[in-house]
Structures are given as structure tokens and as C-alpha cells.
Amino acid sequence: MAETKVYSRPTTWAKDIHTHYCPGCGHGIAHRMICEVIDEMGIQEETVSMSPVGCAAMMYDYIDIDYVEAAHGRAPATATGIKRVLPDKFVFTYQGDGDLASIGMAEIVHAANRGEKFCTFFINNAIYGMTGGQMAPTTLIGQKATTCPQGRDPELAGFPMRMCEMLATLETPAYIERVSLAKPKYIMQAKKAFQKAFNYQKEGRGFCFIEVLSTCPTNWGMNPVEAFEWQIEKMIPYYPLGVFKDFE
Amino acid sequence: MAKVLMKGTEAIAEAAIQAGCRYFFGYPITPQNEIPEYMSAHLPEHGGIYIQGESEVASVNMILGAAATGYQVMTTSSSPGISLMSEGLSYIAGSELPAVVVNVMRGGPGLGGILPSQADYLQATKGGGNGDYHLMVFAPSTLQETVEVVQSAWDYAFKYRNPVMILADGFMGQMMEPVEITPHETERGDWKNWGLGNKGTREGKKRSLIKSMYLTAELLEAHNSKLQEKYDRMQKEDVKWEELHVEDAELVIASYGTTARIAKSAISHLREQGYKVGMIRPITLFPFPYEPFEKLTDRVKHILDLEMNMGQMIDDVKIATKSRFPVSFYGRCGGVAPSVEEIENQCKQILG
Ligand SMILES: Cc1ncc(C[n+]2csc(CCOP(=O)(O)OP(=O)(O)O)c2C)c(N)n1
Ligand code: SF4
């Protein structure tokens, strides 16, 4: 019987490379989906990105496309510079919650408001991964982090920020959706959102923003299974999934 | 093109366009607002793009992204804005990207004032951002020279793949002078080899990876050594200065930019009165022109460092003179320029 290949590594995935991500981390899944979409659209040579600051800082080692490194939070500005010079290329930013919702809050809001025609994948794992588990703007109330050892207190730190909801108040963005990686069903939905974002870019629609609820088992102090369960129980109720804005 | 009367800021903008700059990202700050205004009005006519960033932080990072494509990009600002850009300038230098930045300096520190100054010499030449890096820094002293420096800035930026800063001051931004601006063809070298978006055309479809992060000690050290070799090469190949009456001078003034212009008038008055005064005017502040100071003979009795700040270049002058001559400083700041008479008096006092 002839063998049929049903599963393989995307060609956009850099050959023979293993990621440095912890077991159960969402970054690897999100990277893979980006590679799959790039493969499906046949745009590997047409895609340009910038690595963020955070655990995904070395994503350029995993995805075989042209890359420049951005400063912490500034990827939307850097992407603006690239896309304005290269309007026919596919440009995306990939940023953690510390990167995008804290130090880079101004850059993302203004890039979205200018309707920059690139996509942003916003990886919300409710914590700072790379620097060792400090509080993020997205850390949930009561959630413990190394800089809120008693749990996040809204009196001290305010409430967790909902980026999709905030950006959806702007007139300009073309498409804003929040997805999760906590179940296979959600991952399928996330893949559709990724495809849509890239397709909208192909059509020149304007700014697309996909928030990906992700996991950081290491800094949450859980095993991978507990982490995904925690996401379903705690994160999704506060960060509801769905489309917040669609130009259609 | 014949000579036309232009304001400094507008001459800078037009010179940039004539040199092929098509992408400008900036944020308003006095006294350089006519540059972004001019760019927003004229770049679209040339098929270029002007974007007003939400801050200097954003603007310089737009520059970083655009520079990474290998096209010609520029931003301009004034002192407090340049402080905010320091983050990006460090990244651009670390990532070895060509970009041109103009600082039309005003007085500081902090919000300071909006009047002309040369108070950012140290920031421009000694860093500003983190890490071992240098900008190539030009300090022109007439509008015509400013035009020429702006136009050649991308040649150097691409030659070294390094940011180039033009350090002007508020006087130069706001004064009007006749200038001639002719089209200039910039040499961009092998830009497609590294410029983003050309993966498909590279041999073996090799991707371009532009970065400044090296987490392994040896790799980061090697990267820094490579940068240092580049700075050493600038020192050998592209250091620029002007000398005036140094052959028989007993007093040599060291000054740059607008201050050097005022000093020139003082020197010609002093010469008429028989005082042997000359001048060394650095045109590149980094790399610094050590050579003309090294060549000075023992006829020289004194060096006077003259600036519109509290004495920021004096250490470089002292290094250049290797303690062979006494070096003193005279300057005004906050928006005050030293007058011709003040400079003459200062020189007469020194010469006794
Ligand atoms: C200007 C600056 N400030 C701070 C840091 C340190 N830093 C590196 S990663 C990081 C947090 C990243 O968190 P997040 O964006 O949520 O990404 P994650 O690591 O969770 O994937 C910080 C604060 C830095 N690199 N640059
Ligand atoms: S620290 Fe957290 S975000 Fe970083 S790789 Fe590990 S699990 Fe992923």
C-alpha cells in the first residue's frame, strides 16, 4: 500500500531546528501555525518579520524568512517602517504581553490607529516569561507573579488590560480577534484567524490583530495539562474569545 | 540648479530629497519643525512617504525598520527628542543599519530652551544609548556645507552600514543663506544582499537576519570587535576638518558649526591687528580629527576651545594635543552665542 504523508514540518520552519521553549508553552504552536499559513500561501520569500523581546526573541532561528530584531515594545513602529517601504511584502509582528501591552502600548495603539497594513500576533500568557515570571499588564487579579507575590492587587496594579477590546474602539483596524490554544478545537479556530489575517494583508485591508491566549507552565508553576486547564477556567472568562472587529 | 535663498531647515530637507531619501519618519520639536513640514509636503511628489510617528521613540524605530530594507531613510529632531531616540540609535548601530539623523540642537539639560546650542556634543560623539557604539557625526558650519554633508551622509551610512548624525544648531536651522542643491546619486553598495524583502533573489534563497543580540559572550565580543574595526576605519579614511591660518599661529581656536563661523570673523579682525590666531575646525566630530592638532608646531602657545556649551569638546582637544599646549575653554550657552568681540577679547587676554 502506498504511503500517504499526513503530517510534516512546514517548509518555512528552519530545517533541523528545535525550539528552546519549555514543554507546554504556546509559543511553539503559534510559530508553527504562522509557518503553515506562509506555506499554504506560498509567500515564504515575500514575508518579512521582526523578532520581539521576550521568550520569542530568537524566533528568527525557527522561521526561515527575512528578519530584523525589534527593541522591546517597538515592533509595531519597526513594522511600520518596513511595510511603508515594502507595501507588497507580507509583514507581521509577534509580541508578548509585556512587549505589546506594557512598554509598547503607544506603538501598538498608534500603528493600529494609522491602519498599518501588517498583522500583529499578540501572545498573551498573562506573565513575563523570559525575565522570570514578573507581573504583566495582563496578569489576572489574584494571580501570583514574582513581583506580586501575594497575587495581583487591583489597588496597586490596576486591572488586567484587554487589548482586543481597547483596540476595537478605534475606527481603523480591519480585523481583531482573540483566540486560544487550550484545546484542539480552539487551535483550529486560531489557525483560521491566522489565515484570515494573512489573507486580509494580501488584499491590503489594513491592520489585523490576533490575540492568542497562550501558556507559560514554567512561570505559572504548573504542568502543561494544568496550564491549559487554568487557561480555560481562569483566562477565557476574563478574556473572552471571538471576533471584536471585522471590516466585513 | 542656481543658487537660491533658503532657510537652513528647508535646505536640509531639499538636500535629502535630492540625495535620494524617500522615507522620513519624525516627530515635531522646535527648532527643526520645517524639516518634517517640508518632507510631508514634498516627499509624496517624489514617490516617497512621510509619517509622523507618535513619539521620537516610535519614529526612530520606524527608521530602523525602513533602514533594514536598504532604502534611504531619515529622521530629524532636536535635543530632547534625540535623547528619546537614543534607544533606537543604539539598536540601529548594533544592527549595522544605514540611517541619517539630523539634530538641530537646542539648549538643555531637560526641556532646557528652544534657542540654539551645541550642548549635545558629548551625547552625539560618546554614545547616548547603551553599549559600545558610535554614530558618524558631522558638524557643518555654513548652509552650503550642510547641504553637501546631508547629501553625502547616505554614502557614509551605506559605506559603513552605520547611522550618520548631522549635528546642526538652531542658528543654522533658522538662518537663510544662498545655497545650491544639485541631485546626488547615493552609493548603496550590496544593499540587496542584506536588505529585507530580497530573500527570493539571494543565492540559495538565503534569508537576511539583521540583529544586535548575541547571547554568547564570544559572539558578542566578536561583534563588538567588528564594530570597533569599522570605527577605526572611519578614523583612517573619513576624518574631516578645516584649517585656517595655523601655519604661523600662536593661538589656535578649536571650534565647529556656527561658533566656528563667528570665530572666523574674530580671527580676521585679530589678524588685522597683528595677532597670530588660527583655527582648527572639526567637520567630523566622530571620527575626531586628531591629526591637525598633532601636526601643530611649538610656535603654538595656547589652544582655545570655543563652543556654545560648557566645554564639551575640550577633552577631545586635550587628547589630540597630548598635553603639549595649555588648553582653555570659552563659551556661552542657553541660546547665547559668543560674540565676535567676546572672542577677540578672550584671545587678546590669552596672548597678553
Ligand atoms: C527596554 C527593555 N526593558 C526590559 C527588558 C527586559 N525584558 C526582556 S523580555 C521582558 C518581558 C517579556 O515578556 P512578554 O512580552 O510577556 O514575553 P514572554 O517572555 O512572556 O514570551 C522584559 C521585561 C528589555 N529587553 N528591554
Ligand atoms: S518561560 Fe514561559 S513563555 Fe517562556 S518558553 Fe517557557 S513556558 Fe514559554
Q: Report the complex ipTM.
A: 0.95
**Would the CB atoms of B211 and A69 count as touching at under 8 Å?**
yes
Rounded to the nearest angstrom, the minimum Cα separation between B288 and chain A is 30
The pLDDT tens digits for B105-144 are 999 999 999 999 999 999 999 989 999 999 999 999 999 9
Which cell numbers in the block locate residue B231? 570605527
Query: Helix-strand-coil percent breakdown of chain B, rounded to 5?
Result: 45, 20, 35
Which cell numbers in the block locate residue B341? 568681540
Q: Which pTM does this prediction carry?
A: 0.96
Q: Which atom of ligand 1 is nearest to the CA of A99?
A: 15
Residue B257 per-residue DSSP state: H
The pLDDT tens digits for A3-49 are 888 888 999 999 888 899 999 999 999 999 999 999 999 999 999 99
Q: Which atom of ligand 1 is nearest to the CA of A53?
A: 9
**C-alpha torsion angle, residues B87, B90, B95, B96 (rounded to 10):** 140
Rounded to the nearest angstrom, the minimum Cα separation between B93 and chain A is 12
**Confidence (pLDDT) at B330:** 98
Span from the CA of A94 to the centroid of ligand 1 (angstroms): 13
- Indicate which residue's Cα is closest to atom 1 of ligand 1: A72
**Would the CB atoms of A45 and B59 count as touching at under 8 Å?**
no
The neighbour count for residue A158, using CB atoms within 10 Å, is 11
Task: Tell me if A219 CB under 6 Å of ligand 2.
Answer: yes
Q: How far is CA B60 from the centre of its chain?
A: 16
The two beta strands, B49-52 and B241-244, are unpaired
Q: How far is CA B228 from the centre of its chain?
A: 19
Q: How far is CA B207 from CA A70, A90, B273, in A?
A: 17, 15, 66
Q: How far is CA B296 from the centre of its chain?
A: 25
Query: Helix-strand-coil percent breakdown of chain A, rounded to 5?
Result: 40, 20, 40
Which cell numbers in the block locate residue B27? 516627530
The 3-state DSSP class for residue A219 equals helix
CA distance A56 to A20: 9
The pLDDT tens digits for B20-52 are 999 999 999 999 999 999 999 999 999 999 999
**Nearest Cα to A80, choosing from B80, B190, B68?**
B68
Chain A residue whose CA is closest to B208: A66
User: What b/e string do you get for B265-275 counting C-beta neighbours within 10 Å, with b at 16 or more?
Assistant: ebbebbeeeeb
Q: Is the predicted pLDDT of residue B1 greater than 80, yes or no? A: no
Which cell numbers in the block locate residue B126? 560618546
Out of A218, A220, A228, mutate this one to test ligand 2's pocket (max ligand atoms within 8 Å of CB): namely A218
Instruction: Tell me the chain A residues in contact with residue B57 when contact means C-beta distances shorter than 8 Å.
Output: 74, 77, 106-107
Chain A interface mutation, best of B92, B130, B199, highest count of A Cβ atoms under 10 Å: B199
Are A73 and B61 contacting, i.e. CB atoms less than 8 angstroms apart? no
**Nearest Cα to B63, choosing from B104, B6, B16?**
B16
Q: What is the mean pLDDT of residues A148-152?
A: 98
